[in-house]
């Protein structure tokens, strides 16, 4: 009995240690992004190193194997560790993780991809309109713009069908739920839709709609496992403000991927043709400019 109680206590301690922390709330009622925690940065777990970056794959770590996150809390989990949600700002990086998802039979992963739908932060700028075409960016890669979604590109991998049967991104849930009436104009996107249901986050889904592995816009409350990637910006922040160099202070997981290049090579051999061009168009792209986000 004593051994059982000791085991139960240790198990509960591990669960409490791995439990997700609620997001801090700012004075405007919005959740706040976390600042890196130096101790967590120093002991962050790496399942893979590729192109100089460490990556954390939540489903490969025992304490997080069956845990999933919404977009914001997933991002904060990464940021605590001087990382951010993965940004597929190069085709090779996406193809590598498509191969990993295929190999590990992962149904979905969150990325740092985000639609600029916030009020009062410049998302209504003319060069970002229409927002579902020109308003996408990689929040974890210094807000680097994602190319217009209504043009086929070798750098974008949007699915050709989602819940509505239309090419992604289609903001299916946001349009379905429609506008909301509120006295204080809180929780509403620049398009007047409900912020909670607006499909403003980018996840990669594994053949959910018979569309192989591809990008989808999802509501940010969607739950998924995550991939964290070293954030050069946060590592530099810790170095400059706290005089701590945490670039190489990582713990290599024994459940990691030792040869990611072989996974990428296998995925590239499997791909025989780029995805077909979208059949419907959601507007005309404007000139690519930097997203005015903090």
Q: All domains of the chain, ordered by start, with CATH? A: 44-270 (3.10.100.10)
Number of Cβ within 10 Å of residue 102's Cβ equals 17
Residue 234's nearest CA partner among 74, 73, 83 is: 83
When pLDDT is averaged across residues 101-130 and rounded to a whole number, the result is 96
How many angstroms separate the CA atoms of 77 and 112, rounded? Answer: 12
pLDDT of residue 144: 96
17: burial class by Cβ within 10 Å (0-12, 13-18, 19+)?
A: exposed
Name the burial class of residue 293, with classes exposed (0-12), middle (13-18) and buried (19+) by CB atoms within 10 angstroms of its CB.
Answer: middle
Q: Which pLDDT band, with edges at 50, 70 and 90, does 3 fall under?
A: very low
- Which one, of 86, 71, 64, 78, lies nearest residue 36 by Cα? 78
Q: What is the pLDDT of residues 19-55, one digit of tens each?
A: 556 666 665 566 778 999 999 999 999 999 999 999 9
For 91-115, the pLDDT digits (tens) are: 999 999 999 999 999 999 999 999 9
Judging by beta carbons within 10 Å of its beta carbon (0-12, 13-18, 19+), is residue 130 exposed, middle or buried? middle
Res 95: pLDDT:
96
In angstroms, rounded to a whole number, what is the distance separating the alpha carbons of residues 36 and 85? 14
Chain centroid to CA 65: 17
Q: What is the mean pLDDT of the chain?
A: 86
């Amino acid at each position: 009995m004593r051994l059982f109680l000791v085991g139960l206590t240790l198990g509960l301690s591990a669960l409490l240690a791995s439990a997700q922390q609620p997001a801090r709330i700012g004075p405007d009622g919005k959740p706040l992004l976390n600042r890196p925690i130096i101790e967590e940065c120093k002991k962050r777990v790496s399942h893979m190193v590729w192109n100089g970056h460490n990556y954390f794959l939540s489903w490969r770590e025992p304490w997080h194997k069956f845990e999933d996150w919404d977009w914001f809390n997933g991002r904060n989990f990464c940021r605590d560790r001087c990382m951010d949600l993965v940004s597929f700002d190069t085709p090779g990086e996406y193809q590598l993780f498509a191969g990993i998802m295929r190999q590990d039979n992962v149904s979905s992963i969150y990325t740092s991809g985000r639609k600029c739908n916030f009020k009062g932060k410049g998302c209504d700028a003319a060069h970002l309109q229409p927002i579902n075409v020109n308003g996408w960016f990689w929040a974890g890669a210094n807000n680097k713009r994602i190319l217009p979604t209504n043009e086929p590109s070798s750098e974008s991998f949007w699915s050709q069908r989602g819940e509505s049967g239309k090419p992604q991104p289609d903001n299916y849930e946001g349009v379905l739920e429609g506008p909301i009436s509120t006295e204080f104009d809180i929780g509403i996107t620049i398009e007047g839709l409900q912020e909670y249901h607006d499909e403003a986050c980018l996840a990669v889904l594994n053949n959910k709609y018979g569309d192989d592995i591809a990008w989808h816009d999802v509501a940010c409350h969607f739950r998924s496992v995550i991939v964290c990637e070293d954030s050069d910006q946060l590592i530099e922040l810790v170095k400059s403000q706290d005089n701590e160099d945490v670039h190489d202070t990582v713990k290599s997981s024994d459940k990691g991927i030792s040869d990611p290049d072989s996974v990428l090579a296998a995925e590239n051999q499997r791909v025989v043709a780029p995805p077909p061009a979208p059949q419907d168009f959601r507007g005309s792209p404007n000139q690519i400019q930097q997203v005015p986000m903090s």
